[in-house]
Copies of this chain bind each other. A is one copy, B any other.
């Protein structure tokens, strides 16, 4: 009596060979579409393979052809559920699809230990390359693997301690442009909401804010600057508190998209006030065109970042010894909810949009 529920071991090339009456090597040739096998034999092997439900074992194959690549890429983002990370993952998928690569995805959650752990997991699987939105202060722990041929592209945050390819955006320029626009609109009391300034992106965005003010001969008002905000809720409370001041801000620059959400929440529940502050924010989000409020957004082209990272990776894998390149993309300024037409202008000088720089 046969129990149909017993796991049936997978057919191997040996099984296919036996069933087809050829040698194992011939099956290998057929599976890998190598020339030099008679049509008749090819057909027979193919049909037997299908019949037995044969699946090529990529791991065994990669093991034998040592030095070849596994065709897998590790993508380590902050949080795969986050809009930015998810779109980056998708852009990488599209850009690598033609080469048949497969992506291992994982979330770092701003935890350096977790980053190293996940990197270890992926390297144990012998990924050809890593796309890394790093949280560790330095990435030199990757040096032995890079010497062994691992490709690495740092994304969103520049690498520290290693010379690897990178795709980042001009955070300083983007912030400066947004804040300058607010100043052009006549605002003088501009508030800043940002993350912990030991994070490079948060630091740069605050620097851009400061530069914009400095260009007008002004300095930040400490009462209107809040660092270390991590959630929309924290931003909401910060804004509500600011608005009760005797001299409330007339404009607010939120240096992360969740903080922009917090601003919107604060103003949403504060419907009575005569002139709500203008809001500018960093990083686009869904439905900002529907909130019924003018909004100035510094937008990154995430798809372009993904495409660029994939291109750098491809070049790197072709010539592992090439010098590291760093591409800095210029974000753009977008106006939402403008009573007039929708305006778009480059965040930095027009000529520099999309410029790449070697460091």
* A residues lining the B interface (CB < 8 Å): 5-10, 53, 55-60, 62-63, 67, 70, 72, 79-83, 85-87, 89-91, 93, 100, 102-107, 120-126, 144-145, 147-149, 261, 264-265, 268, 285-292, 320-321
A319 smallest CB distance to B (angstroms): 10
Q: Give the residues in chain B near A72, CB-CB below 8 Å.
A: 104, 125
A58 CB contacts on chain B under 8 angstroms: 124-126
Residues in B whose Cβ lies below 8 Å from that of A149:
7
Q: Beyond the given A9-B67, A81-B87, A85-B86, could you list 7 further A-B residue pairs with CB under 8 A, ordered by the A residue number?
A: A7-B149, A53-B145, A55-B120, A63-B63, A80-B86, A80-B105, A102-B125
Residue of A91, A107, A265 with most partner-chain B CB within 10 A: A107
- Please judge, given known A-B contacts A7-B148, A55-B145, A287-B291, whether A104 and B107 are in contact too, CB under 8 Å: no
Considering the complex, give the chain B residue whose CB is closest to the CB of A118.
Answer: B102
Q: Which of B59, B67, B288 contacts A126 (CB 8 A)?
A: B59
Contact A93 B107 (CB under 8 A): yes
Q: Distance in Å from the Cβ of A100 to the closest Cβ of chain B? A: 7
A38, B7: Cα distance in complex, Å: 39
The prevalent SS among residues of A at the interface is mixed
A123-B55 in contact given A90-B80, A93-B107 (Cβ < 8 Å): yes
**Measured CA separation A83–B285 after assembly (Å):** 12
Task: Tell whether, in the assembled complex, residue B103 and residue A105 are in contact, meaning their CB atoms are under 8 Å apart.
Answer: yes
Q: How far is the CB of A130 from chain B (nearest CB, A)?
A: 13
Q: Which residue of B lies closest to A59 (CB)?
A: B59
A105 proximity list for chain B (CB < 8 A): 80, 89, 93, 103-105
Residues of B within 8 A of A90 (CB): 79-81, 107
Chain B residues with Cβ below 8 Å from A55 are 120, 123-124, 145
Q: How far is the CB of A64 from chain B (nearest CB, A)?
A: 10
Minimum CB–CB distance from A58 to chain B (whole Å) comes to: 4
Contacts of A57 in B (CB 8 A): 63, 124, 126
A100: nearest residue on chain B (CB-CB)?
Answer: B121
Shortest CB-to-CB span from A272 to chain B, Å, is: 14
Q: Which B-chain residue is minimally distant from A261 (CB atoms)?
A: B287
Q: List 13 A-B contacts (CB under 8 A).
A: A7-B147, A7-B148, A8-B148, A53-B145, A55-B123, A58-B124, A81-B91, A83-B286, A93-B105, A103-B105, A103-B106, A268-B290, A287-B290
- Among residues of B, the one whose C-beta sits closest to the C-beta of A260 is B287
The answer to whether residues A10 and B148 also contact, given A87-B81, A102-B125, A286-B287 and a CB cut-off of 8 A, is yes
Tell me, rounded to whole Å, the shortest Cβ–Cβ distance linking A297 to chain B: 13
Bound CA span A104–B80, Å: 12
- Residue of B with least CB distance to A5: B321
